[in-house]
Amino acid sequence: MQFLKMLLLALTVGFAVAFAINNWTVVSLQLWGGLIADVNLPLLVLAAFLLGLVPMWVAYRATRWRLRQRLATCERTIADLRTAAATSVPAALGLIAPADEPATFAEPSSHSITPPAMVDPLDSPAADRGTESETRL
């Protein structure tokens, strides 16, 4: 990839030098107030190119910097949330004892913990008051 980049750069410089040598003529620019500026054509083309390139390059760099800052902020937030979740999960499960109490752990029981039963809204007493179409509205 580096070879292709250098090849493209060398070709561009070669074309620019060939253009400058073949078109080294003086161009008269009529400015405001009757001023006339005599400028070599390659310098005029280079100035026009830089006039279009530099503002866009500055805008690109500013956007890239702003996006890097946003990404760094998001990564810090994710890291903070991961550390908060890592410390809160053991405390919620009772694996971390408070500082004023000695650490005691209960022996694991033979039965597993089951989640609470899900309640179906159609089985509630409100569903018995009307027809099925009336309660779903």
Q: State pLDDT tens for residues 20-34.
A: 999 999 999 999 988
Give the whole-angstrom CA distance, residue 90 versus residue 96.
6
Which residue in this structure is represented by tokens 């159609």? 122
Residue-level pLDDT at 66: 98
Give the whole-angstrom CA distance, residue 20 versus residue 43.
8
Is the pTM higher than 0.85? no
Give the whole-angstrom CA distance, residue 100 versus residue 38.
87
| Averaged pLDDT, 108-132 | 57
Q: How confident is the model at residue 47 (pLDDT cuts 50, 70, 90)?
A: very high
Q: Is the pLDDT of residue 133 over 60?
A: no
Residue-level pLDDT at 85: 84
Measured in whole angstroms, how far is the alpha carbon of residue 130 from the centre of its chain?
53
Phi, psi of 85 (to 5 degrees): -70, -35
Residue predicted with more confidence, 18 or 118: 18
